[in-house]
A and B are shown apart, each in its own frame.
Chain A
Amino acid sequence: MGSPPAGAVALFLFLAVTVVGFSLAMLLSRNFVHSAAFLAAALLSFAGLNALLGATFLALLQVFIYAGAITVVVVFVVMMTRVGVGDLRALMQPQSGWAGAVVVLFGIGLLNALLAFVPSLGAAEPPTTTTSIAYALLTRYAAPFEISSLILLAALIGAIYLAKEAR
């Protein structure tokens, strides 16, 4: 397999540190607007990781949809509900210890399950091109593609209906 180039390793380590750091910052921030900003930064780092894996189209979508649109919606709702700054203790449920135990147990299982795949993984395949994604979406995955447009339409109408002022 050969050792990976040093530049890619440095980039990966940088992105890994930023992803984990921004996720923790999002979790530990007491101000919800800061939380949303850290979320956007973490999602941008995820876009970088996708690009590092050769999925440039997905990285672009990640920036547009997640770091752009979804963050804007979250910030809107944070501003409209005016919730926000408080003591970290008051923001957490009392049963955090149990939650931590569940997360640790689940994490052991998850890492075991994921890393069990590693011996069967080959060396790097050629990266997926945008052309082949378009081809897959319109042939093999045509039905899920159409259904996902229906899901988006339903979500759009549902969100408008729910957020409507009059009742």
Chain B
Amino acid sequence: MIPASWFLTLAAVVFLIALFGFLTRRSLIQSLMCLELMLTSVNLTFVAFGRTLPDPAATGVSFALFAMVVGAAEIGVGLALVLVFFREGHANVESDDLDILKG
């Protein structure tokens, strides 16, 4: 089998690419896309650890499943919020426009 360190490094690299995108994008939609990519790369880490540590209770895959559930819920509610934000007149749905709390 391929060493787990390869999978861990790849997952970390994709996570960092997505983190950079999440921090630098103006648009909320692209930020959410990057968030999905981060969640997925963490899932790969779970599975890689589950494959190389003794895992009789299927912990790695189960945790990845629960992370998937949270990711699906997050993207559903997040995109609904984006839609509400757009409907309130912010045509570009940029995170800079979310400044009601700014003093």
Contacts and interface: CB of A to CB of B under 8 A. Distances in A.
Contacts of A144: 62, 66
B100 interface: no
A99 B26 contact: no
Contacts of B58: 128, 132-133, 135-136
Contacts of A136: 57-59, 62
Interface in B1-48: 1-10, 12-21, 23-27, 29-30, 32-34, 36-37, 40-41, 43-45, 47-48
B46 to A, nearest CB: 9
Interface residues of A, number: 86
Indicate the size class of the contact surface on chain B.
35 or more
Contact of B29 (A46, A61, A83, A99): A83
Contact of A115 (B9, B30, B51, B86): B9
Contacts of B62: 133, 136-137, 141, 144
Interface of B: 1-10, 12-21, 23-27, 29-30, 32-34, 36-37, 40-41, 43-45, 47-62, 64-66, 68-77, 79-84, 86, 91-93, 96
Interface of A: 1, 4, 8-9, 12, 16, 19-20, 23-24, 26-27, 32, 35-36, 39, 42-43, 46, 49-50, 52-55, 57-58, 61-62, 65-66, 69-70, 73-74, 76-78, 80-83, 90-93, 95-96, 99-100, 102-103, 106-107, 110-111, 114-115, 117-118, 121-125, 127-128, 132-133, 135-137, 140-141, 144, 148, 151-152, 154-156, 158-160, 162-163
10 contacts: A46-B40, A46-B41, A49-B7, A62-B43, A74-B75, A81-B82, A90-B26, A99-B24, A136-B59, A162-B77
